[in-house]
Amino acid sequence: MNILVTGGAGFIGSHTLIELYKAGHTAVVVDNLANSNPESLKRVAELIGGGVTIPFHEVDVRDRAKLTQVLQQYQFDACIHFAGLKAVGESVAKPWEYYENNINGTLVLVDCMRQNGCKNIIFSSSATVYGDPAMIPITEQCPKGHCTNPYGQTKSMLEEILMDMQKADPEWNIVLLRYFNPIGAHPSGRIGEDPKGIPNNLMPYITQVAVGKRPELGVFGNDYDTHDGTGVRDYIHVVDLARGHVKALQAIGSQCGLAIYNLGTGHGYSVLDLVKAFERANNITIPYSIKARRAGDIATCYSDPAKAERELGWVAEYGVDEMCRDAWNWQKNNPEGYAK
Ligand code: NAD
Ligand code: WQD
């Protein structure tokens, strides 16, 4: 298939491009580079090899005219829509910017798509839509919960919008992928997560401590109702997550209508479990101290990924040691991310 990949220069998008080409698909990337560096795309092409060039258009998905040009220049079988802003804390400070970028961006995208004859989309949703989950492990049957921040609201609202569109027009095939906590990097160490400024997420913070950019990790709370008091999450290797998108194309190909899948490993690790796993895998000590809880955090969140296995034949293959090894391999080889 030929796939329009929005946000393809970003963390998950860049890894997904490699898996798409490996599986025999082709892609065109649209990204406004708001949170990425085009160097990622050069490295993706190197990793794919064989002289492949992936067409890249520096376009904002809210720009109807430019997006339409791209849709008319190529023939797309489907879109994988990663483009969006994703920093939870920033979304609290800038709600308008988050609603406008994520919601308006997606509305413009799907409108341009349908006007140009493409009604197949895979959407990057998030486990955040479950709020403080009503069940653990979380199946797709779990009711959606209250999102404590505008970022999460955009994901939850966009799911509703896409579901309503599919209901009104069954020609749409829409796959909502609810990611748990993507970490790690391509095993080559050439592409990975390149956060701007102080990382919000745990793994990039750990790797920046490991590389000496930050003195210590702050652990946000050790009084949760978990085995060691720190928050438990379902960390998933970004390469496994990327492969999940390739598998989801099968659902599109078989005219799934609407389909929702959790993409996680099904295993929960606490903050301190992850710190220990990182130390063990890489033989590095991570200094940390316990801080107050972070507003909006929940105690425990991990998936039941059985539906994706049953229906897509997808299962996460990498374990936490490989996630830690690859995250560090990327960070130590690229201490300044793509900037150097
Ligand atoms: P990322 O920031 O690395 O990638 C997103 C890309 O979208 C960036 O390259 C950015 O420049 C681009 N972009 C943003 N707004 C755009 C716009 N209006 N037009 C065109 N391009 C735009 O983030 P990521 O971690 O790769 O996440 C990809 C998607 O997955 C996002 O939608 C994110 O919300 C979602 N998601 C991420 C996580 C996570 O923890 N990383 C978890 C669940 C869901
Ligand atoms: C993991 C655990 C923290 C940083 C977020 C979004 C979610 C999704 C994935 C996009 C928690 C603790 C963290 C630190 C810490 N993104 N922590 N010190 O909060 O589970 O999910 O990213 O959709 O929507 O909310 O991930 O990596 O920020 O935190 O102790 O410096 O690590 O409290 O328990 P989270 P995270």
pLDDT tens-digit map of 152-163:
999 999 999 999
Ligand 2 atom with least separation from CA of 230: 34
Ligand 2 atom with least separation from CA of 126: 23
Task: Give the rounded percent of residues in the chain with a pLDDT score beyond 70.
Answer: 100
Mean pLDDT on 322-333:
98
Separation CA 150–CA 153 (nearest Å): 5
Looking at residue 40, its pLDDT comes to 98
**Distance (Å) from CA 202 to ligand 2 centroid:** 6
Q: Report the pocket of ligand 2 as residue ranges, CB < 6 Å.
A: 86, 88, 126, 128, 152, 181, 200-202, 205, 217-220, 231, 233, 271, 294, 297
Name the closest ligand to CA 90. Answer: 2
Ligand 2 atom with least separation from CA of 149: 25
Alpha-carbon torsion angle 192, 198, 204, 206, nearest 10: 150
Catalytic residue among 21, 130, 151, 302: 151
Could you tell me which of 148, 130, 29 has the C-alpha nearest to residue 82? Answer: 29
Q: Is 98 a catalytic residue?
A: no
**Distance (Å) from CA 24 to ligand 1 centroid:** 24
Answer for the pair 297, 229: CB distance below 8 angstroms, yes or no: no
Shortest-distance Cα residue to atom 11 of ligand 2? 231
**Distance (Å) from CA 260 to ligand 1 centroid:** 19
pLDDT digits 0-9 by tens, 90-119: 999 999 999 999 999 999 999 999 999 999
Q: With a threshold of 0.95, does the pTM exceed it?
A: yes
Mean pLDDT on 308-312:
98
Separation CA 107–CA 129 (nearest Å): 19
Residue 340, pLDDT > 80, answer no
Looking at residue 42, its pLDDT comes to 98
Could you tell me which of 65, 83, 64, 63 has the C-alpha nearest to residue 4? Answer: 83
Answer for the pair 162, 176: CB distance below 8 angstroms, yes or no: yes
Task: Name residues whose C-beta falls within 8 Å of residue 142's C-beta, 6 or more positions apart in sequence.
Answer: 130, 133, 134, 135
